Copies of this chain bind each other. A is one copy, B any other.
Amino acid sequence: METNLASEPLYQRVAHHYRGAIRAGTLAPGARMPSVRSMTRLHQVSLSTALQACRHLEDEGLLEARPRSGYFVRMARRLAMPPAREPDTAEAVDAARYVGIHDRVSAFVAQGERSAVKHDFAAAYAAPEQYPGEALKNAAMRALRQHPDLLVKPVGSSGDAGLRAVLARRALDAGMQLTAHDIVITQGCVESLNVALRAVCQPGDTVAVESPAYYGLLQVLESLSLRALEIPTSPSTGLSIEALELALQTHERIQAVVVVPNFQNPLGCVMPDAHKQRLVELCSRFEVPVIEDDTYSALCDDGVPLKAVKAWDRDGSVIHCASLRKTLAPGLRLGWVSGGRWHARIQMLKYAQSRANEALSQITAAEFIASSAYDRHLARLRRLLKAQREQVAECIVASFPEGTRFNVPAGSLLLWVQLPEGCEAQRVSDAALERGIRVVPGPLFSNSKRYDNCLRISSGFPVTAEAQQGLRELGRIAGGLINGMP
């Protein structure tokens, strides 16, 4: 295909240069692109033109941006699909209203437990064998031997001091300055979110959330009689700070903002550090507490810890919630919360809600996290997840109907797939479950109809030949249901 280069805009010329190299395989899938700065020198263009060229190639699905690492050639090169559509952030934010998500979530959970699931692309954690089961088992046995009355002696009210200390130590790497005293151990991030929301909100209050948002959060909001105000959220950079600002200006009573800054669920996006900072400043200006759900940040492909929003917190107005369930062990119910200004109230609410956690799992986790075995485990898990994610992405590219769009995040295990308009995700999900394939349909992540054509597909499990078969079948089902055709 011949093109008249002279008549093209500059950035197109630059893009053309690299498009050819990618198509030819000179720049192989997964390779790092030359730095933007070196492009400016080579092509004698400005920094913004070079960047524009990269973004253009990204839009074409040839490149992907990884947080703080620059641009890389997308893996599923030949069949690349376009990235997920960005939301219109200027769009007026919906009026606050109750989420009606309870029944949907309960029905979805029950449906999953009733069905014979062969291919689980719904679980938001990795396969059991990808966690350090043996080492944790041994740590638990040691704890039982060393503390003979562990199961019959009650524990203190904020959780095991040893676990709190290692968590405070790890938080340092994400940019937070915490001590063991700032942390309350919980039954998992969901319990952290419960007590955090109860600490800063009254029933009836409005809470700003990402759109789409983790369905567990929406369910918590509804169960606490809170209203959710969905803020446009980019599949690549997360919550739109502009849209949030607009909402804070126009809605009188936003009592809290809940964000998942790192590997958002379901989008998989990471908020750039600059956005995290602006978020804290904005909310501080409006005196609105930020509740940060930082469940996945340790699962970043390149192993460089992502910063928490709380890293920019100066006045204790960010509540940091996290969990060990995805990173260490799906069978442990261990989360924590650093409540900032609301620490005492959160401590009290946790006590009133479920008392202190059991000691055994806390001691077990503390021992493991304090050791270098935890780092080795994380490195291995990240590697496995990256490979699985790319394999799942390739299957999607190969078998999903034309018009499907999605991004491949640079960590964690969630893929947010936008099916062609008119393809109802709920019907795809129902039909898939009948064949033993479980995915999460878009309507679970919002109170609106905006995601009726979306699916969340997890890549937490090994992509065996059968799993690939399952994904192909899923693609066929989706293809068959375009425009409501049976």
Contacts and interface: CB of A to CB of B under 8 A. Distances in A.
Contacts of A358: 331-333, 358, 361
A284 interface: no
Specify how many copies of this chain sit in the oligomer: 2
Contacts of A123: 154
A357 interface: yes
A203 B198 CA distance: 12
Nearest to A217: B352
B152 A109 contact: no
Contact of A148 (B134, B203, B325): B134
B152 A132 contact: yes
Interface in A89-134: 102, 105-106, 109, 113, 123, 125, 128-129, 131-134
Contact of A141 (B128, B131, B144, B333): B144
Given A225-B203, A348-B223, A360-B140, A331 B102 contact: no
Contacts of A364: 151
B141 A190 contact: no
A359 interface: yes
B352 A190 contact: yes
B106 A151 contact: no
| Secondary structure of the A contact surface, majority rule | helix
Contact of A333 (B156, B325, B349, B355): B355
A353 to B, nearest CB: 6
A477 interface: no
B152 A113 contact: no
Contacts of A198: 223
Contact of A113 (B144, B156, B191, B357): B156
Nearest to A155: B331
A330 interface: yes
Nearest to A126: B152
Contacts of A330: 152-154
Contact of A190 (B150, B332, B353): B353
B149 A133 contact: yes
A45 interface: no
B151 A216 contact: no
Contacts of A145: 137
A202 interface: yes
Interface in A204-220: 216, 219-220
A136 interface: yes
A62 interface: no
B333 A357 contact: yes
A374 interface: no
A136 B190 CA distance: 29
A191 B123 CA distance: 26
Given A129-B149, A149-B128, A194-B354, A154 B188 contact: no
Given A187-B354, A202-B225, A353-B190, A128 B152 contact: yes
Contact of A354 (B131, B154, B191, B203): B191
Contact of A219 (B128, B202, B352): B352
Contacts of A106: 344, 347-348, 351
11 contacts: A102-B348, A105-B351, A128-B153, A129-B149, A140-B360, A141-B144, A151-B329, A154-B331, A202-B225, A223-B352, A332-B358
Given A190-B355, A191-B353, A194-B354, 12 more contacts: A125-B154, A128-B152, A129-B149, A137-B144, A140-B140, A141-B141, A154-B331, A190-B352, A190-B354, A202-B225, A331-B360, A360-B360
Interface of A: 102, 105-106, 109, 113, 123, 125, 128-129, 131-134, 136-137, 140-141, 144-145, 148-157, 186-188, 190-191, 194, 198, 202-203, 216, 219-220, 222-223, 225, 325, 329-333, 344, 347-349, 351-361, 364
